[in-house]
Chains A and B, each alone.
Chain A
Amino acid sequence: MRRRDDILVGATVLAALVAIVGGALWLSESQLGKGGEVYVARFRTVGGLGVGDPVVLRGVRVGRVRAIRLAPRNWVEAELQIYEGVSLPPKPAIIAASASLFGEWQAGIINLEQPVDDPIVQRDLEEAMREGGDRWPGATLPDIGQLTAQAGRIATDIASVSSRIQTVFDSQAVLELQEAIRDFGRVSERLTQFTQQQTEILGEVGVNLRQGSDVLADAARSLSNSLARVDSATNQGQLLTILNHTQAAAENMARAAADFRALLSAARENQASLLRIIEGADSVATRLRDRSGTLGLLVGDSMLYVETRLAVAELRRLLADIQANPRKYFKFSVF
Chain B
Amino acid sequence: MYRTLSLKVGNWLAAAGRTGHFLTDTARSVRDVPTWAGLTVAQMRRIGVDSVPIALFIAIFTGIVLSLQASYTFTGAVPLYFVGTLVGKTVMLELGPVLTGLALAGRVGANIAAELGTMRVTEQIDALETLAYDPLSYLVVPRVLAAAIMFPIVVSLAILVGIISGWLTAISLLDLSTVEFVRGLKLFYQFKDIWFGLVKSFSFGVVIALIGCFKGLSVRGGAAGVGRATTEAVVASAMAILVLDAFWAVVLL
Contacts and interface: CB of A to CB of B under 8 A. Distances in A.
B157 A24 contact: no
Interface in A10-69: 12-13, 15-17, 19-20, 23-24, 27-29, 52
Interface in B8-51: 41-42, 44-45, 48-49
B179 to A, nearest CB: 14
A164 B95 CA distance: 54
Given A12-B52, A16-B152, A24 B45 contact: no
A23 B197 CA distance: 14
B185 interface: yes
Contacts of B189: 27-28
Question: Of B82, B153, B198, which is in contact with the most chain A CB atoms at under 10 Å from its CB?
Answer: B153
A282 interface: no
Contacts of A332: none
A144 B146 CA distance: 49
Contacts of B82: 102
A9 interface: yes
B186 A29 contact: yes
Contacts of A2: 41-42
B160 A9 contact: no
A102 B49 CA distance: 40
Interface string B176-194: 0000000001111111001
A19 B154 CA distance: 11
Contacts of B41: 2, 5-6, 9
Interface string A66-104: 000000000000000000000000000000000000111
A23 B194 contact: yes
B137 interface: no
Interface in B173-218: 185-191, 194, 198
Determine chain A's interface SS by DSSP, over half rule: helix
Nearest to B38: A2
Contact of B45 (A5, A17, A20, A102): A5
B191 A24 contact: yes
A111 to B, nearest CB: 28
B156 interface: yes
Contact of B49 (A9, A23, A27): A9
Contact of B153 (A6, A12, A27): A12
Contacts of B88: 27
A23 to B, nearest CB: 6
A102 B188 CA distance: 10
A27 B186 contact: yes
Nearest to B47: A9
Contacts of A15: 157
A257 interface: no
Given A6-B41, A9-B45, A9-B48, A16 B187 contact: no
B84 to A, nearest CB: 11
A2 B156 CA distance: 25
B156 A19 contact: yes
A301 to B, nearest CB: 141
Nearest to A15: B157
A13 B41 CA distance: 11
Given A8-B49, A12-B48, A102-B82, A20 B198 contact: yes
B190 A16 contact: no
Contact of A12 (B49, B78, B191): B49
Nearest to B163: A23
A19 B160 contact: yes
A8 B154 contact: no
B157 A9 contact: no
A211 B206 CA distance: 110
A19 B49 CA distance: 16
A297 to B, nearest CB: 141
Contacts of B44: 5, 9
A17 B160 CA distance: 11
Given A2-B42, A8-B49, 9 more contacts: A5-B41, A8-B45, A12-B150, A12-B157, A20-B156, A23-B159, A23-B194, A27-B186, A102-B187
Top 9 closest pairs, chain A to chain B, by CB: A16-B153, A16-B156, A5-B45, A19-B160, A27-B189, A9-B44, A20-B156, A8-B49, A12-B49
Interface of A: 2, 5-6, 8-9, 12-13, 15-17, 19-20, 23-24, 27-29, 52, 102-104
28 contacts: A6-B41, A9-B44, A9-B48, A9-B49, A12-B52, A12-B150, A12-B153, A12-B154, A12-B157, A13-B153, A16-B152, A16-B153, A16-B154, A20-B156, A20-B198, A23-B159, A23-B194, A24-B191, A24-B194, A27-B88, A27-B185, A27-B186, A27-B189, A52-B190, A102-B187, A103-B188, A104-B187, A104-B188
Interface of B: 41-42, 44-45, 48-49, 52, 78-79, 82, 88, 149-150, 152-154, 156-157, 159-160, 163, 185-191, 194, 198
